[in-house]
Amino acid sequence: MAKGKRRDKQKQKKQYAQRLTERKAAQAELESNRKQWDEPEVVRVSGADVVLDHSYDIADTRDAELDALSPEDLEAFLEASKIVSNAYFAKGRAKGRQGAGAQDEPLFQEKMETLLRMYEKYPKVVALHIELRLGYYVLLDEARIEAMSAASLQRYPHDVMMLTTRVEEFLDDGQIDQAREAIRGRFTLAEFDPARELFHIDDAIAFLIAIGRFHVETNQIEKALVCLAELEMIDDEGGTADELHDLIYADEPEPGPE
């Protein structure tokens, strides 16, 4: 009888081990499928691979740069960023109104001091540059805004947004030669950062708009049309290509009555 019980226990253990193995295999397959489902679509744009999901986070985005911050500084940055960003957007909504704004509040000034301290402590973190600059827009501090803009390309040579922002500022002011100098012959994403394996769709859109605008301003319409086609391919429903489209066809006469 004892032997029979032992055999039954051994059989139960084997069955349990088999079920456990099968369950682990099923979980592994499910995880593999989940990763495949979560994998975003990637297309070739401007000579580089671009991920088409706006919410997808890749290793070399600005969010990853925040890993350089200590836990305490990261918490302080997130809090300061919220206050400054809210003040920036509130100022936009209140444009033209009278009265004191968030920039006059002690809390806003305190958070600006926090951002400035971390900006000096972590010179390679682009997010700090962006938030601090937003704060200077709220303060209408044109001198500091220009100083930060002028230093952006040297400080962040491989950040697409820094390049495109600076190029568009030059184009807005009619400074074609300065825009050309900022681009430095890098008219595709692949040329801009050859070591980078994957670009985010937001970077690609900003890059194509800025480079397309430059081509329009320098009367290279065929090259601008290439930028427009790539914009329409990666963001056909977002409307980001409309501005470039209007620039390209601005001089065409309106069709007359038939």
- Please give, one letter per residue, the 3-state secondary structure of 101-133: CHHHCHHHHHHHHHHHHHHHHCCCCHHHHHHHH
**Across the chain, where does the E strand assignment appear?**
42-45, 48-51, 199-200
Ordered by where they begin, the domains of the chain are: 44-248 (1.25.40)
Collapsed DSSP state (helix, strand, coil) of residue 49: strand
List Cα–Cα distances, 39 to 12, 46, 57, 237, in angstroms.
Answer: 40, 21, 11, 21
pLDDT at 140 over 70: yes
pLDDT tens digits for range 8-29: 656 665 665 566 566 556 555 5
Per residue in 189-221, pLDDT (tens digit) is 999 888 788 888 888 999 999 999 999 999 999
Exposed, middle or buried by CB within 10 Å (0-12, 13-18, 19+), for 227?
buried
Q: How far is CA 31 from CA 27, 37, 89, 234, in A?
A: 6, 10, 41, 29
- How confident is the model at residue 221, as a pLDDT? 95
Burial of 129 from C-beta contacts in 10 A (0-12 / 13-18 / 19+): buried
Regarding pTM above 0.95, the answer is no
